[in-house]
Every structure is written in C-alpha cells, then in structure tokens.
Amino acid sequence: MQASEGDTLARIEALVEKNSEAISKLQEDVRRWDERFFQHSRDNITLARAILVASFVAVLLSPALAGITPVIQQLVSGLVGQQGGS
C-alpha cells in the first residue's frame, strides 16, 4: 500500500514544523550560553583587576608598613600586657 501524496505532504509539513521548533529551542539555548560565557568573562576581568590593584597597593605600601611594624608590635605587646596584668 502506497501512501497518498497528501499523506506524504502532511508528514513532511509535520517534520518541518518539528524541526523549526527544535531550531528555535537550540537558538534560545545558544543565546543563553553566550550570555553565561560573557558574564563569566566579565566576572573574571573584575577579579583580575582586583588582584592587580591589591598587589600594586601591597608593593607600594610595603616600605611604609615595614617602617611602622615595630610601632604596631609595641602597641599590641602593650595591649596584651595590660590584659594579662589585669
């Protein structure tokens, strides 16, 4: 038994409709993954900048911190001594 032309055409149209829906869903998924990728890239750039700034500040302030370290140690020792003596 052969399928009539009308049945074949209806099956083809149904397949085309199903494929169109699948393509639309795939395009939507690709857009969503693209947005996730670009957001992740922006987050990584922000983190890299924060690390660079922190490193730069640490290098810049290290001589000043080295100079005041003994003062900080004396203050802490004095505070600990006061708490221990009370």
pLDDT class for 5, splitting at 50, 70, 90?
confident
| pTM, to two decimals | 0.49
Round the average pLDDT of the chain to a whole number and report it.
89
Q: Report d(CA 34, CA 24) in Å as an integer.
A: 15
What is the full DSSP assignment across 26-83? HHHHHHHHHHHHHHHHHHHHHHHHHHHHHHHHHHHHHHHHHHHHHHHHHHHHHHHHHH
pLDDT digits (tens, 9 = 90+) for 17-58: 999 999 999 999 999 999 999 999 999 999 999 999 999 998
- Give the tokens for residue 76: 């802490």
Report, as an integer, the average pLDDT of 60-64: 88
Give the residue carrying structure tokens 């004396």: 74
Report, as an integer, the average pLDDT of 61-82: 86
